[in-house]
Structure 1
Amino acid sequence: MKKTVNKTTKNNFITYGMVIAIFAVVQILSSTGNLSRLLTGLLVPICVYTIASLSLNLVVGYSGELSLGHAGFMCVGAYSSAVFSHVTSDLIPSVPRLILAILVGAVVAAVFGVLIGIPVLRLRGDYLAIVTLAFGEIIKNLINILYVGVDDKGLHVATSAANLKLDPGGKQIIKGALGVSGTSTLYKDIKDYFFLIGVILILIVLFVIQNLVNSRSGRAITSTRDNRIAAESIGINVTKNKLLAFTISAAIAGVAGVLYAHNLSMLKVSIFDYNMSITILVYVILGGMGNLRGSILATIVLYALPELLRGFSTYRMLIYAIVMIAMMLFNWAPAARDFRSRIVEKIKGHGKEKEAA
């Protein structure tokens, strides 16, 4: 048992170390002027999608359920936090306001996760995927007709611009299909630190997920994934544990939405469509389901690669497709997995020989 705990702790610290090492390399490249303006602009979005892929891995990889509604959770997290930031922009300094906005986005997304999860998690397989996909589309279309403003009397909500009656001096925040503008300007004094904030959020998310997975509840979640009938036969509440994983995953997706919303000068609901959910799912599958380090590396490579290959013009997407196929084979082909196992065993064998010497 002690050896298992030590191995788990070691693996966790390796993951943290990998994230910190990537951050250090990026900072060195940036300080020496070797990081292009294009790559600099990709840093925060990469953090956003990394957080989103880690959250989805909790559902797909550890819980064993297929969810296509993560764009919807990111959407509610983004919009709720943007409204909070605009309403409190004159009341709270930037740093505590951003922290509170992150908490607001996480809580709102978690509430939606519970509301959706209670009826939906009784379904399985394709049925669950279809319902979560429908949730994402419903959220997108509801926010598309939502108008929110604030004045001295408080918040005003309407379904059309004509019905949104604000006093003189009032401020319209959500403008229907036009979305929310000016959120990033509220944090112009700390905008340069958003990449650091994104890395810190990734480390916090890793800490939450790893501790959940290695806890008693986490073992119950993975047991229901491996054999639902056996888990039920020993008294595990399958629905309760799946709801726990789904809710935490939704909350983390909401955090990704907060960072995404506050990094953009113009936030539009059309961004959070079906394609975003599929993109996040691709990162999870290619990185390896249940593999947090794989999700991080797959997100970094697959998000940055299309931009890095722009110089190849016509062949850009062909190279991107080849890289995706290669990653899939490396992670899932039996021969590749056997090869990786042999390499790991050789490394361990060399380590034992050095210790013996």
Structure 2
Amino acid sequence: MSAVQSSTKDVASAASRLRRTAWYQQPRYTRLWAMLALGVLLALVTGEQGTTRDVFYSIEGSLLGPNLWVCLALTVGVWALREFAATPIKGVAGQVKAAVGRPGGALRDRVQGDARLRWGLIGLIGLALVLALVVPSTLPRMWQTVLVDQIAIFALLAIGLNVVIGWAGLLDLGFFAFFAVGAYSTAFWTGRLPIEPPVVLNPFWVIPIAVVTCLVAGLLLGAPTLRLRGDYLAIVTLGFHEIIYLVAKNADGVTGGPQGARLIPDFSFDFAGIQYKWSIDPLPYWYLLVFFIVLVIVLFSRLEHSRVGRAWTAIREDEIAAAANGVDTVRFKLMAFAIGASTSGVAGVIFTSKYGYINPEVFPLLQSILILAYVIFGGMGSIPGVLLGAAALVWLPEALKDYVDPSDRYLYLGALLVIMMIYRPQGIWPSRRRQRELKMAEEGLGDADAMSEPAGGKA
């Protein structure tokens, strides 16, 4: 009997050792290894440049010099700060939240039920809008140009992509193609392409036409992808971008080919005796873009909480279950592609009119990837998040311009994205739904990525 008990204990002990997780396999130290690897990679890509005379010159200069230790100190410092300082900070935040007595989930209801809170929130929004209109006039001309040409334009595009990827859960890697459609629509209707339009219009009046054109392009993209999700949808949208790019480059008699379109007129407004003409000054374009961004935010916020927005949420969570409960998935997926593409029409017209020149090289595939990064970095499904993500990731390379080699600037951007995906995959300002999905995925209760099938397929 004792021999049987001893054997049983040995088996139980061996089983417990198999279940035991080694210290280096714990999540905290797994993240440490990832950060150390990121530090080595940063040292390699930001270190000495290579030479044809010595194949290992760059590796030796990068890994044997002080640059390696600086990069490792940065990445390990981020790891230590996140691992050991996050818990106390969360504890203090929890105590403050409990003291105030306003749980985040009930904040919307409290604002709607309390007139003072509602007017206070309206006041904060109004103050933010005033600052957005006043502060740019105090900035240098270079930063005003960055605000218009990059931050505001990409903010509009990110809001549109958020509809497709954040609300409907449809992974789109070719979204910048709609921007090209809007830009070439401007060139066509202003008479700057080889083919003549029925009537030559001012760029200001091309905006509604470009929006409709992008809506139609969204429908054309959405129609053949109705049965696709995840990786397959990504490949199709990637192909859509390449089709638009190659048509713009090779259709010389339609798009002007590699030479593109030149001398596109500036914006001007003449209606009911009110006249105004935009010039090379970037501030008037900034005010115009702020107007359209605010308009789009208001419209899309109403749309998010409407029947259409709830249908998109159902499709994103589980398309099969949504169809089983009566949601017309075909119609709502087409609406997501079309409505998301509409902001590209506005952005394309304003960008083209300001620059006065476009060619196919203005619309590379990298831009589609960057817009996707802005949405994920800011927080999928959250309008404030995607605005903040676009502003932060556009600002960073420009801020590094005077300190970092141009070929290395986007490496720092990539390192920031890696750190963000390790420690805060939900983004800077995520939607509550996305936070809940990631929490359930950590607990093994769901799939955090609603844009693809879970491992093993749908249950």
Bin of the TM-score, shorter chain as denominator length: 0.7 to 0.9
Residue 107 of structure 1 is matched in structure 2 by 212
Tell me the residue number matched to 2:158.
Answer: 53
- 1:326 CA displacement: 4.6
Name the SS for the 1:115 alignment partner. Answer: helix
Return the alpha-carbon distance in structure 2 between the equivalents of residues 333 and 204 of structure 1. 26
CA 1:203 to 1:228, structure 2 compared with 1: closer, same or farther past 3 Å? same
The answer to whether 1:240 aligns with 2:331 is: yes
- What amino acid does structure 1 have at the position aligned with 2:209? V
Structure 1 gaps, min length 5? 148-157, 160-173, 342-357
Distance 1:21 1:82, change over 3 A: farther
SS of equivalent to 2:402: helix
Q: 1:75 is matched with which residue?
A: 180
Quick check: 1:293 aligned with 2:380?
A: no
Q: TM-score, normalised by structure 1?
A: 0.75
Deviation of the 1:114 alpha carbon: 1.0
Q: Check whether the contact 1:143–1:269 (CA below 8 A) recurs between aligned residues.
A: yes
Q: Check the 8 A contact 1:82/1:101 in 2, yes or no.
A: no
The correspondence for 1:313, drawn from 393, 400, 404, is 404
Max Rg structure: 2
State the shift of 1:28 in Å: 3.6
Q: Report what 2:91 is aligned to.
A: none
Higher relative contact order (CA 8 A, sep 6+): 1
Distance, in Å, in 1 between the alignment partners of 2:204 and 2:121 is 27
Pick aligned residue for 1:42 from 146, 149, 171: 146
- Match of residue 190 from structure 1: 278
Equivalent residues in 2 for 1:263-274, closer than 5 Å:
263-274=354-365
1:1-357 equivalences under 5 Å are 3=109, 6=112, 21=127, 24-25=130-131, 27-32=133-138, 35-44=139-148, 45-86=150-191, 97-147=202-252, 158=253, 174-185=255-266, 187=268, 189-191=277-279, 192=281, 193-314=284-405, 316-317=409-410, 319-329=412-422, 331-332=424-425
Identify if the C-alpha distance between structure 1 residues 61 and 260 changes in structure 2 by more than 3 Å, giving closer, same or farther.
same
Amino acid of the structure 1 residue aligned with 2:226:
L
CA contact (8 A) 2:182 2:210 kept: yes
The 10-residue stretch of structure 1 (55-64 or 174-183) with the greater mean CA deviation from structure 2: 174-183
Cα deviation for residue 320 of structure 1 reads: 3.2
TM-superposed CA distance for 1:278, in Å, is 0.3
Give the structure 1 partner of residue 454 of structure 2.
none
Offset at residue 239 of structure 1 (A) = 1.4
> By how many angstroms is 1:69 displaced?
1.8
Relative distance call for 1:186 and 1:62 in structure 2 (3 A) is closer
Query: Contact 2:260–2:359 (CA<8 Å) still a contact in 1?
Result: yes
> Given that residues 15 and 293 in structure 1 are in contact (C-alpha distance below 8 angstroms), is that contact kept between their aligned partners in structure 2?
no
Structure 2 gaps, min length 5: 1-105, 269-275, 436-459
Cα deviation, 1:61-96, whole Å, max 9, x if unaligned, reads 1001101121111111111122213479x976xxxx
Q: Distance in 1 between matches of 2:290 and 2:123?
A: 10
- Code of the aligned partner of 1:249: G
Cα pair 2:221 2:337 within 8 Å, conserved: no
Would the alpha carbon gap of residues 16 and 132 (structure 1) be closer, same or farther in structure 2, given more than 3 Å must change?
farther
Q: Which amino acid aligns with 2:363?
A: F
User: How does the TM-score come out when normalised to structure 2?
Assistant: 0.59
What is the alpha-carbon distance in structure 2 between the residues aligned to residue 53 and residue 218 of structure 1?
17
Distance in 2, matches of 1:15 and 1:238, equals: 35
Counterparts of 2:110 and 2:347 in 1: how far apart (Å)?
32
Aligned length: 304
Letter of the 2:211 partner, please give it: A
